[in-house]
Structure 1
């Protein structure tokens, strides 16, 4: 009976998540919600801006990957997703992140429709690089960053996004058969045509990042980074600091782990990709929830939500780190934005970082079949 009771209690807590999120909002964000403010409003000023290279964006962005399909495989109601995007803008978010591969294509369509009323006031980021048939949208094996293909992909992106330029174009993964200098050359051609304004790389090898930046200045790197996965601290973030490149953490909330809604008893439904990550396997999850407990302790200490602690910690690492938490829920959006009002002293950052480092996360962040596409070095230019 105790197990059944706990399961029912968890369902009740999940049902009340939206109410809990709203109750944790800072007063100024709640006021902005009531007024329906615009991007150049006090809400935008409260959220602040950060620089990715020469590109200025809001202090927190919005990842829209799951707006076509969630972790569990559910398809969100499109009008609600448009509402989330527009609510984000009303509350000061000017940085929106998509990719050709999300859907494929559908997320770019949703984002394009969502930001259409205020396109010139926001920064659109999207990504190329997977081997997707430009006619059918079918995912084919491997990667494709051949210059001709990149240019075809960007033309299609512009149509889906309902825009004449992409503010930040990333190579989603490094193509192991195309020199990064050739990729940079294709992007430079697109910049000369006014179709791309800035570019970046995602999950690349550090040597490739240096070569890319030498060929064409890189504005931003996007890689997984959170309390749950701190790999970029070893080489990537120091390299970004040296070269003046901004850093955009994807999955800054550890695929919901750092929100506090996953515990040692959580299991994942068939089709939920988290079931393929060994860090969430039952034997590892029992150990790894120590990190969740730590975040919850700090949430109580700072009068914030766990997600806000996780995001504020990331922003406290460097002034040019801009997390892009994704959500399909307006209340969670508001909660995430509230992270800008959570502040740490230097001593608190050091204390929290030391406590995070003391927890040795068990299991891998990605399945081997996916991890193989990260940290790849492009072939030399002949």
Structure 2
């Protein structure tokens, strides 16, 4: 029994039709039949494969549905072009049937693939594609309805996929985007300020790709897909919501990381930084979709909790880790964190001091 047969059938026992499908598949894989080739007449092929004509017809019908074979009435049966776009049509159909956790898993797959596509595009994109991408971004900015923006969003990602030069990746992403379009449209209607956030996310992706920065492009694309996933999954790295007027700190961001398996002494660190006037919303937008690589970087240096409170322009950071000075020094050397800080710097008058001993660190006076 072949691996492909096992994966296709799962737990059920193989049928005669399955055997027929496997034999036809093996002839294509071996090169005996190639794209565009005409299959022998039904009687000849059934005898060649040792199958009944009924089993052969069922196999041909199944492979036609998968776009592997094409039955031309009055002419015969042919192997299709076997192009990725054709073969992945069934992926698009099946993706519409996914619900619940399966739908969330689909988003996670798309997040990884979009990140990879953006990174490849940043390394391979030509001038024509740069202009095409710029045009799609301008369409997003000018869109007046959710539907217009969503279509521009789809077109924007299609240009990126095409710029990779990888036809399989392009086709796979196209097959996934139709399932997620409805979620995009829902998000545009239901989430406050979602259209502006989406435009800003795509601007960052565009700048990273046109600037030829694969890792920044990957991070920006993955953060964008993560923000699409947010309304489905629930709060994560996001605003806690409005607070009463007399609440000192109005906004709250939180990163929760599983604690280390080995017991270690936890350091608790408080920091104070300050925003420039007028950038509060932009700062919040960034922290609604922190780049996944930044979060992974914090986990990697031992930070197990990071919370940010805002009171007007003042930001108060609470951090738990095993060794703050070591952690902050390692982050300072991380390229992705350096790029994140480049984004944050124009918004702050008092920024993080990555020496670990700077003026932004607050004195602890009580711990209960």
TM-score over 0.5 for the pair: no
- By relative contact order (CA 8 Å, sep 6+), the higher-ranking structure is 1
The structure with more radius of gyration = 2
**TM-score, with length taken from structure 1:** 0.21
TM-score by length of 2: 0.22
